[in-house]
A and B are shown apart, each in its own frame.
Chain A
């Protein structure tokens, strides 16, 4: 069989299909979704000669294993990990040829959380509202990979990157997230706002594609009562009644009813996607430009 497809041999803890997501539909309650570490996903695509927004696989902590039914070029980026083809070690962060029927194994993350597997031609599942991304909050897009799933592949663009190894940022030992305060910092006591930007937090193991949950000082409200639901942006730091900040990631709800104390700079979110549980987190205010 010479069809362009990828058979999933080991799906891993959570492997999803991700591209640039489906922005523009928030008013219908549709999250933006898309790869959490966009630079890593884009690099995987460039290494295999695909446009940067082509659909790739996003793994979580323990990688995945797939068997292409035709010869493909792959590149694994994001969280550093051991990569093998039919048991033989191959390069991480570089284009690798995988013959038809060979087993590509993306091992557990040595550090970081999410690895990206770019495949020449891209993952060609049916798009929903213009995107092939799996959206875990609302269930749009393909379901997370399961053992035995067969994913169709697109036609390769045929442009191969001429690099051996691409430099990539190391997953953070400490996560420093630049924030601008607001829009609802006024709902918290001055002490709470000070604690938020000066005291250390840690990444909670309850984090997922919807939000990076944190453990640390509970932030006390200055005013009681309910906030009427309002629109939420990527990177919004929402504070639920337990007082522990949650940083909204790609699958975040489009509206919410808890106050947002600050918003994390978009440039810092890829690092947030790679911070393992217990990583120290500091929120740092910067002046609005």
Chain B
């Protein structure tokens, strides 16, 4: 675990894998819940967790550097199921990258246990991990100026669902009617860091 100071009152804690970042994130949430960590934001990402708004960043940095990273606690969280029509415009391209027939993309994707590694890009957009590394795909060379809301997409090691129409360079493999973000709902975000997710192929896709 490497602790990097960020500005005056933040720390970036770097670990060596996405799994370790999730374990660290869980541990920091636990400390905040029990009242031993005072912090405004805890932002997990690919291989880091950012702690922003700390009272005594130097003291915490020393403590974290000396600490052992605990194993990820088993988290009893309900799996969020997202129904998908595998009808995306990049389905054939993804199948070609994977070296499988087109209809296999839905089966492989639908059989995968995903987890929200982190959020970003837009409110409610989760970076989901779970696909084996051989299924990594590159971003599109030219991003689309408008990706429709509800698009299910792949890029690098991640799967994501666009909460609203926005520009984007991910490979589109399907569509969902699930509402990823609704600020009138509690919680507003369907997905938050750590949420387990399954994509359920709709009949006919």
Q: Which chain A residues have a beta carbon within 8 Å of chain B's beta carbons?
A: 23-30, 128-129, 138-140, 180, 182-183, 228-233, 235-236, 253-256, 260, 263-266, 288-289
Determine, out of B4-12, B69-77, B96-104, B171-179, the stretch whose residues face the partner at the interface: B4-12
Would you call A183 and B5 a contact (CB within 8 A)? yes
Would you call B5 and A180 a contact (CB within 8 A)? yes
Would you call B188 and A28 a contact (CB within 8 A)? yes
Would you call A139 and B119 a contact (CB within 8 A)? no
Would you call A263 and B52 a contact (CB within 8 A)? no
Contact residues, B39-54 vs A (CB, 8 A): 40-50, 52-53
Would you call A229 and B118 a contact (CB within 8 A)? yes
Query: Cα distance A30–B122 when bound, in Å?
Result: 7
Which listed residue (B8, B45, B125) contacts A230, Cβ 8 A?
A: B45
Query: Cα distance A236–B9 when bound, in Å?
Result: 12
Which listed residue (A30, A140, A231, A265) contacts B50, Cβ 8 A?
A: A231
Would you call A27 and B164 a contact (CB within 8 A)? no
Would you call B45 and A26 a contact (CB within 8 A)? no
Interface membership of B59, Cβ < 8 A: no
Would you call B46 and A182 a contact (CB within 8 A)? no
Interface membership of B183, Cβ < 8 A: yes
Q: Is the interface on chain B under 10, 10 to 19, 20 to 34, or 35 or more residues?
A: 35 or more
Across-interface contacts of A253 in B (CB, < 8 A): 120-121
Query: Cα distance A100–B1 when bound, in Å?
Result: 62
- Supply 11 A–B pairs (Cβ within 8 Å), ascending by A: A26-B43, A28-B119, A28-B188, A28-B189, A29-B122, A29-B189, A183-B5, A233-B52, A255-B121, A263-B10, A266-B7
Beyond A29-B119, A228-B45, whether A183 also contacts B12 by CB under 8 A is yes
Which listed residue (B8, B41, B120, B125) contacts A266, Cβ 8 A?
A: B8
- Most chain B C-beta atoms within 10 Å of own C-beta, residue among A25, A236, A254: A254
Beyond A24-B40, A129-B183, whether A30 also contacts B193 by CB under 8 A is no
Interface membership of B192, Cβ < 8 A: yes
Which listed residue (B6, B40, B192) contacts A263, Cβ 8 A?
A: B6
Would you call A260 and B121 a contact (CB within 8 A)? no
Q: Which chain B residues have a beta carbon within 8 Å of chain A's beta carbons?
A: 4-8, 10, 12, 40-50, 52-53, 118-125, 127, 164, 183, 188-189, 192-193
Which listed residue (A25, A26, A182, A228) contacts B4, Cβ 8 A?
A: A182
| B187 closest partner in A (C-beta) | A28
Query: Cα distance A1–B61 when bound, in Å?
Result: 59
Query: Cα distance A24–B52 when bound, in Å?
Result: 9
Beyond A24-B41, A28-B189, A128-B183, whether A233 also contacts B7 by CB under 8 A is yes
Query: Cα distance A232–B7 when bound, in Å?
Result: 11
Would you call A183 and B118 a contact (CB within 8 A)? no
Taking the closest CB of chain B, its distance from the CB of A26, in whole angstroms, is: 4
Query: Cα distance A26–B120 when bound, in Å?
Result: 8
Given contacts A231-B43, A255-B119, 20 further A-B contacts (CB under 8 A): A23-B40, A23-B41, A26-B52, A28-B189, A28-B192, A29-B125, A30-B123, A129-B188, A140-B183, A182-B6, A183-B4, A228-B48, A231-B44, A231-B52, A232-B50, A255-B43, A255-B120, A255-B121, A263-B6, A263-B10
Across-interface contacts of A28 in B (CB, < 8 A): 119, 123-124, 188-189, 192
Query: Cα distance A143–B117 when bound, in Å?
Result: 31
Which listed residue (B6, B40, B122) contacts A138, Cβ 8 A?
A: B122
Across-interface contacts of A236 in B (CB, < 8 A): 6-7
Beyond A29-B125, A263-B7, whether A229 also contacts B41 by CB under 8 A is no
Would you call B123 and A183 a contact (CB within 8 A)? no
Closest 7 CB pairs of A and B: A231-B50, A263-B7, A255-B120, A231-B43, A228-B46, A183-B4, A29-B119
Across-interface contacts of B189 in A (CB, < 8 A): 28-29
| B18 closest partner in A (C-beta) | A228
Which listed residue (B8, B46, B50, B124) contacts A180, Cβ 8 A?
A: B8
| B191 closest partner in A (C-beta) | A28
Across-interface contacts of B164 in A (CB, < 8 A): 139
Beyond A180-B5, A229-B118, whether A27 also contacts B12 by CB under 8 A is no
Would you call A29 and B121 a contact (CB within 8 A)? yes
